[in-house]
Structure 1
């Protein structure tokens, strides 16, 4: 079956759409070395067959949106443009091979991700929105100009800071592109400490943004964030948290929490979530479980 032919926004108007899970954990489980500054981008460069296999594993689990491996590929890398296009092509191939319609979302990670020092969980980089826009523009332009492999939308994800959200929206303005905007949050605020209503309100009037929400956060932080978003925008909401682990950037490892209760996905849906999936350390089995819990996934 071909990739999804209709806009994702049309599906979100009447049902929950299932996202994929963490690409890094799946690639690691498949034997990929993700050390170094490129993270999943290293697999794009060295083991593209495994990137496509990871996307395929999520599609088989029922995911309807595949997020590309471009999160940590910044404009300063000498092979950036080629790797970005390769990531789109691999996700597109997995989408076309699926037995249901699948959208491809091109990951646009935050400035801090390219630094590979954990600063995407702090924000406040010391750069102005104009400087951040100059950083993001080349990558976004490459992704949008990728011809037959162009993504269905952009995943502006793990954004820690309203300055960076403002910069990303500035780059998108007037392009006609479609995107979602997803913050990483903690304790009812962005990682940089700004109030969530203020953060979500930035996207409320942006026609390019089809959904807003949170990712790469503790599942316990999801519902309050969705409620804050629903108070300032009527756009569909999204949620794809991690498993509650905390990333230790100094030692490049995760500190895992004790096993927790099932995610309250019904409450997330009632709050307005229409895109639900997983981020770091959420694999295909969990996505398949979410599909059953949500009554989501491709119509049968």
Structure 2
């Protein structure tokens, strides 16, 4: 098995992740007030997905995640799509990211609004960006905010069965790595580790945490990290969609349990109101370049953003990375 994450970090020293795909799709005019969330755009606005990917690449991202976080066979079935149609959409999501990368490397320019950094060209020495096939937790399919609690009462075996059909499709694509995101529980971690082992595909698992030491469901963060450390096909461990103030203690906790690369991509610090279906409260005041530098010193190997984080913030992280 090749390890694209470690290979990239060993060559470049650091990995810049992208930001919130759904956030950028909304900025492009997509209506994501829907149980499918960003996956709705796979049906209605695939070109917007390609444009969003390009904007993150032009901002300096070394890795872009596909629009499959909330894309499931069950979710698309509720829209009348059969298994064959869902399979095509999952494959299309990876093709859109690969196409955006090819356009970026070829030098064509995507639409660039005035409030974003100017479109950039990849330096000749910079390796091609990676494409990560995003896999959201069971709670993302429920679309009730339970990815922030892990409170859905399923065993690892049941979660394995839920995730397996989508995983099998994405594992057969040309994505460089599978990215399990916003993982809230140890049981879901067990399911992902088993799927990674069965598919023999490089995988990262990124966690949703309630504080600097516990997963969203209250289990010790280090317990889940230790499971990832023991599975060779899990090539990196991360935290995502957490308040930026939790990132440093979570890096320390992860490093106690693993020697694998650590990826961090927090949200803006706002909180998701599952009933109102919107982000509430103030964002955490943050200088993204300075914070990225701090998180690197603390032991992070890759930094990006999640919900409410756009290309401008990724450009700031890139600026720190090339200093």
> Deviation digits for residues 184-226 of structure 1, max 9, x if unmatched?
1121211000111112111011111111020000001111111
1:82 counterpart (88, 100, 105): 88
What SS does structure 1 have at the residue aligned with 2:199? coil
> Deviation digits for residues 89-126 of structure 1, max 9, x if unmatched?
10010111123311100000000000111011010311
Contact 2:261 2:301 in 1 (8 A): yes
Cα distance in 2 between the residues matched to 1:232 and 1:268: 17
1:141-180 aligned at under 5 Å gives the runs 141-146=168-173, 150-180=174-204
| Superposed CA RMSD | 1.6
Report the equivalent of 2:286. 261
Cα distance in 1 between the residues matched to 2:87 and 2:286: 42
2:256 counterpart (224, 231, 235): 231
Alignment of 1:96 with 2:102, yes or no, is yes
Cα distance in 2 between the residues matched to 1:186 and 1:175: 30
1:276-295 aligned at under 5 Å gives the runs 276-295=303-322
Contact 2:268 2:284 in 1 (8 A): no
Aligned positions, number:
289
1:186-265 aligned at under 5 Å gives the runs 186-188=210-212, 189-258=214-283, 260-263=285-288, 264-265=291-292
Cα distance in 1 between the residues matched to 2:35 and 2:45: 16
1:51 counterpart (36, 49, 52): 49
Aligned CA distance change for structure 1 residues 199 and 98 (closer, same or farther; 3 Å): same
Cα distance in 2 between the residues matched to 1:130 and 1:174: 14
Cα distance in 2 between the residues matched to 1:216 and 1:259: 13
Report the equivalent of 1:12. 9
Alignment of 1:64 with 2:91, yes or no, is no
Contact 1:96 1:102 in 2 (8 A): no
Contact 1:246 1:254 in 2 (8 A): yes
Contact 2:204 2:235 in 1 (8 A): yes
Cα distance in 1 between the residues matched to 2:277 and 2:65: 23
Report the equivalent of 1:108. 135
- Please give the TM-score of this superposition, normalised by the length of structure 2: 0.86
Structure holding more helix per residue: 2
Contact 2:171 2:199 in 1 (8 A): no
Cα distance in 2 between the residues matched to 1:199 and 1:6: 21
Aligned CA distance change for structure 1 residues 197 and 8 (closer, same or farther; 3 Å): closer
What SS does structure 1 have at the residue aligned with 2:47? helix
Aligned CA distance change for structure 1 residues 137 and 6 (closer, same or farther; 3 Å): closer
Cα distance in 1 between the residues matched to 2:198 and 2:70: 25
What SS does structure 1 have at the residue aligned with 2:133? strand
Cα distance in 1 between the residues matched to 2:181 and 2:283: 26
Cα distance in 1 between the residues matched to 2:86 and 2:208: 24
Runs of 4+ aligned structure 1 residues displaced above 3 Å come to none
Cα distance in 2 between the residues matched to 1:43 and 1:265: 30
Report the equivalent of 1:25. 23
Unaligned runs of 5+ in 2: 106-121, 123-127
